[in-house]
Amino acid sequence: MTPHVLCIDVGGPAKIGWADDTGETGAGPELGAALDRAAALLRDGHPLALGFEAPIWTPRREELARITGRRGGIETTFNRAWSAGAGTGALGAALALMPWSFARLRKTAGPVIVTINLARFRAGEASLFVWEAFVSGLGKGTSHHDDALLAVQAFVARWPSLTSDILPEPALNHAVSAALASGLRVEVAEIAMPAVVVGVTPMTVADPART
């Protein structure tokens, strides 16, 4: 089953933007209603792919000199490390926004099963899939909800043959921590796994098929 896709461009309450695969977009004041609609779909058995435009996992590395280094892939291509100023600011906001979002989903959908493992989601073992959107540089839109919409369009265009734009490595997954704290059901082992990262590139932005 094709999932409903919702992405949140993460920031403080005044800088949140969101979009879904129906073309709906909005800002922070409308986010709760968007999550309620998504939660109603979850409650009725429809899968949801929820993205956050922020680093939602950080590397676990043995070499001290590399602990804040780029995660590779699209971060290397665009020279945008998760630990740079914009990345750490978004991560900090996400640490507060993710549990708020998950609690809002749980209020309507109940303690659904969540995963950051794409294989488990495709197999129907979880109804909520959490992913990371990467929108940076020339790939960005003109507003926060534009960035969220671009990420949704990238996800939809690549589904179901979706792969991560950052290769996996040992990780600390903050989305899994937030899901656990919010009362959702998730495999505890996933806390040590990276999330799938879906990047928006300048080519995506220039593609008229996205509009």
pLDDT of residue 104: 98
Question: Which residues make beta-bridge pairs with 51?
Answer: 7, 131
pLDDT of residue 210: 36
The arithmetic mean of pLDDT across residues 43-52, rounded, is: 98
Residue of 172, 192, 180, 186 lying closest to 57 (CA atoms): 172
pLDDT of residue 1: 82
The arithmetic mean of pLDDT across residues 166-191, rounded, is: 98
pLDDT of residue 136: 83
pLDDT of residue 55: 98
Reduce the DSSP state of residue 84 to 3 states and report it: coil
pLDDT of residue 140: 80
**Tokens 């409903």 sit on residue:** 4
The arithmetic mean of pLDDT across residues 41-67, rounded, is: 98
The arithmetic mean of pLDDT across residues 100-129, rounded, is: 98
Over 90: is that where the pLDDT of 141 sits? Answer: no
pLDDT of residue 183: 97
pLDDT of residue 8: 98
pLDDT of residue 164: 98
The arithmetic mean of pLDDT across residues 51-75, rounded, is: 97
| Residue 76 near residue 82 (C-beta atoms within 8 A) | no
Quote the mean pLDDT of the chain.
93
pLDDT interval class at 168 (50, 70, 90): very high
The arithmetic mean of pLDDT across residues 41-61, rounded, is: 98
Over 60: is that where the pLDDT of 205 sits? Answer: no
Give the Cα separation of 44 and 168 in Å (integer): 32
Over 70: is that where the pLDDT of 105 sits? Answer: yes
pLDDT of residue 139: 65
Give the Cα separation of 121 and 115 in Å (integer): 7
